[in-house]
Structure 1
Amino acid sequence: MSTILPKNQIQVIETLNNWREAVKLASEPLLKQKLITQDYIQAMIDSVEEYGPYMVIADYFALLHARPGEGVNQQSMSLLVVKEPIDMKAKPVKIFLVLAAKDNQSHLDSLQSIMDVFMDTQKYETILEGNKDKITRLFNEGGEKK
């Protein structure tokens, strides 16, 4: 099984000025690999501007996405953990997970695997702590059968 969230698509930083910068930085690894285009990043930002912080689905956690297919060259995900919470339309966020889907279906298995990690309180705390090596291990051991 391929890695759901490779190490080069996980970033941990101390702080950022605003949520827009966080969306851009979180998307950067996917953009560099041409998995998504600038259009997809802009679509995510526009979505938050238009509909508010609906992507904040748990404490400190935003699942960033836009309409499937638009600006997505290949299904992919990236993760940004910011140690200082960033205000996203009155919601504090530390974890920015970018989900780039090609269609309405194919990403669901990957999303389920990722959410299994986030739903585990201990693993969630590990992610919030912002240790990149530990975070990388969380996402790269769960995918393979032991």
Structure 2
Amino acid sequence: MTDRLFDSSNINVIDDADTWQSALQQASEPLLASKAITQLYVNKMIENVQSNGPYMVLSDYFALMHARPGEGVNSMGMSLLVSRNPIDLEGKQVKIFLIMAAVDNSSHLKSLQQVTSIFMDRKAYETILNGNKNEILALFKQKEAVA
């Protein structure tokens, strides 16, 4: 991944997914393809939800998916999957799956802070929820230029 948080290679928009696990797998594909993570990391994220419930759903339709730093992580990375229709994640409806892969407990914090500020902007959040990939790309490009 470049020094940009998001580009066309790590943002995907889908209509729906049969299960949250399949959505999580699709959301992880850009990080798997770039070798930032291994399948072990995806499996650990699934195990976390199965063991601890939907605690990764932070707000309406938004899940910050992650596992323990370092386990199955080769380099810091993020990817984003937006579903036009909600997907049930253990009783919570999710449209936005943000995958965060960290190699340690601190190196990802600046990137996480930057992306969190984008998601906390209501207008930006609505743009992401709308599921238009070109608009999402333009939004991140604009927000990152300001940062």
Indicate the residue corresponding to 2:21 in structure 1: 20
Runs of 4+ with deviation above 2 angstroms = none
- In structure 1, give the amino acid aligned to 2:73: V
Partner of 1:137: 138
Tell me which residue corresponds to 1:120: 121
For 1:91 and 1:6, the matched residues in 2 are separated by 28
Q: Which consecutive residues of structure 2, in runs of 5 or more, have no partner in the other structure?
A: none
Post-superposition CA distance 1:60-101 (Å, at most 9, x none): 000000000110101000000001100000000000000000
1:33 is the counterpart of 2:34: yes
Equivalent residue letter for 2:139: L
Once the two structures are aligned, what percentage of the paired residues are identical? 52
- Give the SS at the match of 1:11: strand
Q: SS of the counterpart of 1:6?
A: coil
What is the CA deviation profile of residues 7-50 of structure 1, one whole-angstrom value per residue up to 9, with x for unaligned ones? 11000010110100011000001101111000000000000000
TM-score (norm 1): 0.97
In structure 1, C-alpha distance between the alignment counterparts of 2:99 and 2:83, rounded to whole Å: 14
Alpha carbon RMSD of aligned pairs, Å? 1.2
Distance 2:8 2:94 in 1: 21
| Structure 1 residue 145 displacement after superposition | 4.0
Code of the aligned partner of 1:98 = I
